[in-house]
Amino acid sequence: MRKVWFVGAGPGDPELITVKGQRLLQRAGAILYAGSLVSEACTNWAPPSCEVADSKGMTLAEITAWLISRAKRHDTVIRLQTGDPSLYGALIEMVQPLDAAGIASEVVPGVSSAFAAAAAACESLTLPEVTQTVILTRVAGRTPMPAGESLPELAAHKSTLCLFLSITLLSKVCASLLEAGWQPNDPVLVVQKASWPNEEKVVRGTIATIRDICRAEKIASQAMIIVSPALGAREWERLSRSKLYDAAFTHRFRRGGR
């Protein structure tokens, strides 16, 4: 059956694509990759006969037309997207024309840059009794935020925030955090090109200092911003321990109280 696959290429390191994604690339007849964000190295698994194209200069209509035309010629066509296709990837806008054309499609998830950024800094996005919630969002720019989802409203929860597509609006991010009740000395983590070999950059600061640090490091694109009460926990002297591994905790694989 002919099908268009939307494959998450992961955050940048070609080795972070899933095994399923790699296997699909190896049998693909045509691949359209997002060259502005996806490493071209991800296409190296494609067979020599595969048609490979870069979509960075295409409009949405041109992308969907390309996918439809190739799906009429090849059994396996891949739209290779950065991170995970379900996050900020215009997935539904591309799937709808395929549905209308009667072309089957399927999604293969990928590693998000939010998780790659946390990994790069060896940070946990959740900690017992500190925060158990992670909010994946962005600050309002050319694309407005829906009612109830402004950054000050979300930041008021004081849980972990992973901010996509917001590094060029860092001053607005910091102002929104302060408006929500965060303090100027609260920590902020910024990771540019998380997991990209020889290109990853990790910087730390506070709400008061992070703009100047990013400016000095020339970080103005492809960066994840993480704000969390759990940042820096590796250096804390005391942590609330996970109940799952507590010797007194009983679950179906282990009896507690030993």
**Residues 161 and 218 grouped into a single domain:** yes
pLDDT value, residue 34: 87
Which one of 61, 76, 108 terminates a domain?
108
User: How many Cβ atoms sit within 10 Å of the Cβ of residue 198?
Assistant: 5
Q: Are 88 and 165 in contact (CB under 8 A)?
A: yes
| Global confidence as pTM | 0.91
- As for how many domains the chain has, the answer is 2
Looking at the domain assignment, is residue 244 inside a domain? no
Taking only the tens place, the pLDDT of each residue in 180-233 is 999 999 999 999 999 999 999 999 999 999 999 999 999 999 999 999 999 999
Taking only the tens place, the pLDDT of each residue in 59-109 is 999 999 999 999 999 999 999 999 999 999 899 999 999 999 999 999 999
Q: How confident is the model at residue 162 (pLDDT cuts 50, 70, 90)?
A: very high
> What's the CA gap between 76 and 3, in Å, rounded?
6
Per-residue b or e along 237-256, where b marks 16 or more CB atoms closer than 10 Å to that residue's CB: eeeeeeeeeeeeeeeeeeee
**Residues 91 and 143 grouped into a single domain:** no
Statement: residue 245 has pLDDT above 70: no
Q: Are 107 and 85 in contact (CB under 8 A)?
A: yes
Q: Are 116 and 125 in contact (CB under 8 A)?
A: no
pLDDT value, residue 35: 83
**Residues 117 and 166 grouped into a single domain:** yes
CATH number at residue 194: 3.30.950.10
Looking at the domain assignment, is residue 248 inside a domain? no
pLDDT value, residue 193: 95
Looking at the domain assignment, is residue 70 inside a domain? yes
Q: Are 17 and 46 in contact (CB under 8 A)?
A: no
Looking at the domain assignment, is residue 243 inside a domain? no
DSSP H or E segment with residue 224: strand 223-227
Identify the domain containing residue 7 by its residue range: 3-108
